[in-house]
Amino acid sequence: MANLDMPPMAIMICILLAYAVLGMFMDAIGMLILTLPVVFPAVMALGCDPIWFGIIVVEMAEIRLITPPIGLNFYVVNGVRPDIPLSDVFKGIGPFFVADVATVGVLLAFPDIVLWLPRTMG
């Protein structure tokens, strides 16, 4: 991946899209265990900070927990409040999904937001 003739940010976006697709079929832990041994060295070869990449990947895993078809958080809410129909729980996800996608976009555009605190500590 590091040798592709693409800008590093385009490769990162492709990786995040792959995580979005994988999240449709797998839970977060399985997805990370399966992909990180391959993706992490490639991302490091692109010159990305490992802390930044870790935050981005965790945010993508969280997005997958609130989006169908797996959306484990939906079923937790439905288990806690069975009086609320699952369709209403799915409808309520819109603002949270938009906020999480915007967060990933901001963190991709401005990696220093993630790296500010670690840099002040070291």
Q: What is the pLDDT of residues 103-114, one digit of tens each?
A: 999 999 999 999
In a domain, 69, yes or no: yes
| Count of other CB atoms within 10 angstroms of residue 48 | 18
Q: Report the alpha-carbon distance of residue 67 to residue 12 in Å, rounded.
A: 21
Q: What is the pLDDT of residues 44-67, one digit of tens each?
A: 999 999 999 999 999 998 898 888
Task: Copy the structure tokens of residue 60.
Answer: 């993508």
In a domain, 101, yes or no: yes
Q: Identify the pLDDT of residue 17.
A: 93
Domain containing residue 87: 8-121
In a domain, 66, yes or no: yes
In a domain, 1, yes or no: no
Domains in the chain, number: 1
In a domain, 17, yes or no: yes
Global pTM exceeds 0.75: yes
Residue 60 parent element (H or E): helix 50-65
Task: Copy the structure tokens of residue 76.
Answer: 């937790």
